[in-house]
Homo-oligomer: A and B are copies of this chain.
Amino acid sequence: MRVAIVACGITPFGVRSATFRELAAEAGKAVLDDAENLNRSEIDALFVGTALPERFVHQGYTAPLIAEQLGLEPRIVSRCELACASGQAAMRAAYSSLTSHMCEIALVMGIEKMNSGSPEKVRHTLASILDTEWDAVHGLSAPSFFAMCAQRHIFEYGTTREQMAMVSKKNHGYAMTNPYAQFKKEVTVEEVLNSRVISPPLTLLECSAVTDGAAAVLITTEERAKTMTDTPVYIIGHGQKCTGNLTCNLPSLSGWVSLREAAGQAYRSAGITPQDIDLAEIHDCFSISEIMEYEGLGFCVSGEGGKFIEEGRSYVGGDVAVNTRGGLLGAGHPLGATGVAQAIEIVNQIKGRVPKSRYVKDIKYALSHNLSGNGSVHSVLIYGRN
């Protein structure tokens, strides 16, 4: 049985005055406005992907709160949490509920309200994603973890700082074409390298931001999808893998074993290869991540991720267009919203609803990828127009 995305809604990402509830309402209205031939009482499942609302906005039990805010009374309801991959976790929950015939029309809401309280509070909250007793307590955080990955990648493969900065340049450039992106400013390689160092070698412009935002999609069965849109976007493959959680137990810092496994599963389940992917929305939480993901997703071999961006192979018109909405670096990274926003870019691209400058023609297959925590879990979905 196949399922497809039939409607999308998203809020502008950034430092928003809107509350958690208001962000949900905004994305909820947008997705319902985008849905044709739908009475909202037909929505029989709601999956909310959000990482840390308990700490950011002191609100637990967010799924029923969002149901009420959107005027929904779903039969099936849950909040899915997998840190930075919470949005995709919610999409996967919708996928399994639909394919197991537990529901027919599922709304997936990815959401995070991160700008709430002091920077100290935000840092303290984000630190709780890592093992707080064994990793975070020693000062490890997301920037310092990915900085170690960058150092190791430089050491093992000779990846250059300029290559890393090129990821930020590309993604900030594409974000210029995305009215929902947090950042709308082109940056040069020099500007990236000269921005403030956050954790050596990574600079400010190589780190995704603290972002508020929500994104929602409606997913339904193939049969129902055909009554709602001429261009359903099918979810045709999925892969996920969890290996270890403590940083000291990760088999490598320069490459993610679990990403290779997740990607392999996803390609196999879709019956395709990495070379079939025309558009990839991947998890560039830091510049180095995107480079490591070119490799882990099989777009190039290990160690050649730096060259891959340098040769322009991840631009529109290259081997595979990567992060055309601006990625996490350009569009912002409201944790739970990111995975859903990536799916929306894929739908908008396939429907031709994006500006020409980032439009990828004739997409046959697309992919979205999220990592979570210190790369301990990787999650991949594959989409097709048929």
Contacts and interface: CB of A to CB of B under 8 A. Distances in A.
Interface stretch (A93-101, A155-163, A320-328, A348-356): A93-101
Contact of A52 (B21, B54, B83): B54
B79 A81 contact: yes
Contact of A133 (B19, B133, B246): B19
Given A68-B244, A241-B75, A377-B77, A129 B93 contact: no
Nearest to A95: B100
Interface in A87-119: 89, 92-93, 95-102
Contacts of A261: 75
A343 to B, nearest CB: 17
Interface in A34-82: 46, 51-52, 54-55, 57-61, 63-65, 67-68, 72-82
A245 B68 contact: yes
Nearest to A262: B75
Interface residues of A, number: 62
A242 B74 contact: yes
A372 interface: yes
12 contacts: A59-B132, A60-B81, A60-B128, A61-B82, A63-B82, A64-B372, A64-B376, A68-B376, A75-B261, A75-B265, A76-B240, A100-B100
A373 interface: yes
A238 interface: yes
Interface of A: 19, 21, 46, 51-52, 54-55, 57-61, 63-65, 67-68, 72-83, 89, 92-93, 95-102, 128-133, 238-246, 249, 261, 265, 372-373, 376-377
B372 A61 contact: yes
B242 A46 contact: yes
Contacts of A60: 51-52, 55, 81, 83, 128-129
A63 to B, nearest CB: 7
A132 B58 contact: yes
Contact of A82 (B52, B75, B77): B77
Nearest to A265: B75
Given A64-B372, A73-B244, 20 more contacts: A19-B133, A21-B133, A52-B60, A55-B60, A59-B128, A59-B132, A60-B128, A61-B82, A64-B244, A67-B245, A68-B244, A72-B242, A76-B240, A78-B82, A79-B80, A80-B80, A80-B81, A98-B100, A99-B101, A100-B100
Complex A-B, nearest 9 residue pairs according to Cβ-Cβ distance, in ascending order:
A100-B100, A54-B54, A99-B100, A61-B83, A68-B245, A64-B245, A96-B100, A79-B81, A60-B128
A242 B54 contact: no
A340 to B, nearest CB: 15
B128 A242 contact: no
Contacts of A19: 133
Contacts of A243: 73
Contact of A61 (B100, B129, B133): B129
A172 B353 CA distance: 62
